[in-house]
Amino acid sequence: MSGGLLVAGTTSDAGKSVVTAGICRWLVRQGVKVAPFKAQNMSLNSFVTTEGAEIGRAQAMQAQACRIEPTALMNPVLLKPGGEQSSQVVLLGKPVGELSARGYHGGRQQQLLGTVLDCLEQLRGTYDAVICEGAGSPAEINLRRTDIVNMGIARNAGLPVLVVGDIDRGGVFASFFGTVALLSPEDQACVAGFLVNKFRGDVSLLEPGLDMLHGLTGRKTYGVLPFRHGLGIDEEDGLRVSLRGAVRESVVAPPVGEDVLRVAVCAVPLMSNFTDVDALAAEPGVVVRFVDRPEELSDADLVIVPGTRGTVRALEWLRERGLADALVRRAAEQRPVLGICGGFQILGEHIEDDVESRRGQVDGLGILPVRVRFAREKTLTRPSGEALGERVEGYEIHHGVADVTGGIPFLDGCRVGQSWGTHWHGSLESDGFRRAFLREVAAAAGRRFVPAPDTSFAALREEQLDRLGDLIEQHADTDALWRLIESGAPQGLPFIPPGAPA
């Protein structure tokens, strides 16, 4: 087998990442050597590869679905928003500067097309199949001229396009038809058909509509995926957390001890890598919620200040809302607080930032004996070590350089009393360390909570990916999908007027 496919969507969050991962897992179970690809990703949830490259977490998860190591080739362009108008541009895993939306779409994006196509070609030369994910909608007619992630990549690379629509939102037939009808004749020729996502109910009631859609567009529907609770995976952005959804929406084992443990995560602006709390939410008896008011910290056994793309902005936000004072009181009362990456910097005494916010000297919350200076060079590493007597692995993505002047060493950060801080993302995915940390938190909070002895976060991830593969295998026309990946879009697909505007 040799081929590829672009999974596009009628909207953002239509299910492109999930469907791409599901197709990847289905293919690899058929013995196909497959890789994921997303030319351009906009996300604050990122990951560090073994070669020290920063890519979107969704592509790292899709690589896991393929049972391969993620590389920078799989996500050559990553945009990390720093506000409403600008983003940091990460090219082949390394930051190359900040650009406004106008500056990026005004010319820089098109200049990257050659790099993007070269990365895709390298993957196609190495793997039997490459499953590509689009971004937003391919019918964003205002951006088509400079597009390098949807129809731009499909046309240049000769990829067939499968359009995914979330029927749970409503309007899926209009979205499918309108998506195709707003594309040029050349783009429409790449669109092979549709995939319905998140369907509830009797499929036989949907089939007349699918038949009519085929009649209107000349394109078939390659499958109807049922709505399944707890299938969320590493998100590009948003506040929904993958395994938190699984715990909340599916049958969960009861707590091992007598009490639950309540975790409050401060929903700071430009929150990055909120997937850090997935492993906590996967634990029986741990309840995770995002909060933005100080009173919501009162009954929390652990408060987490997560990573952020705007440390100084997040610090100001905490102060404006009264959360900063509540955190300082918690620390003084020896109630557990954990700061991760930007959250760790916020808990420190002093921040010198002439890079991210360009605000210069700023006072932190003074909870931890740490002074932070922002460097222009970004730290991108995959550290490992030991804490609380357990082996720990993580990854670091930050401009801030921490000078720790006291406290007890903790994952290259420090601990003072029940306040902890580290630059390491992903540390809580290390099962032994997570259990040891939760035992410390429970003891400090006076909770009779006992971590489950057998929760394996890696095994839970694998189960999630297998369930996605099952969805494709059981509810998609896999024979037709196989032919599409191998042979491309069918010839002679009709043009649907009016097409793209001039």
Positions annotated as catalytic residues are: 341, 425
Using only C-alpha atoms, what is the Rg of the chain?
23
Long-range pairs, 27-33, Cβ under 8 A, ≥24: 27/66, 27/129, 27/131, 27/485, 28/65, 28/66, 28/67, 29/469, 29/473, 32/1, 32/128, 32/129, 33/127, 33/128, 33/129
Structure tokens at 315: 């610090």
Structure tokens at 206: 């949907």
Triad 46, 47, 50: Cα angle to 5°:
155
Q: Is residue 41 helix, strand or coil?
A: strand
CA 392 to CA 390: how far, in whole Å? Answer: 6
CA 398 to CA 493: how far, in whole Å? Answer: 48
218 — alpha (psi -120 to 50), left (phi > 0) or beta? left
Q: Is residue 374 helix, strand or coil?
A: strand
CA 451 to CA 280: how far, in whole Å? Answer: 10
CA 195 to CA 10: how far, in whole Å? Answer: 10
Q: Exposed (0-12), middle (13-18) or buried (19+): which is 411, by Cβ within 10 Å?
A: buried
Contacts of 138 by beta carbon, 8 Å cutoff, 6+ apart? 8, 147, 150, 151, 154, 161, 163, 179, 183, 187, 191
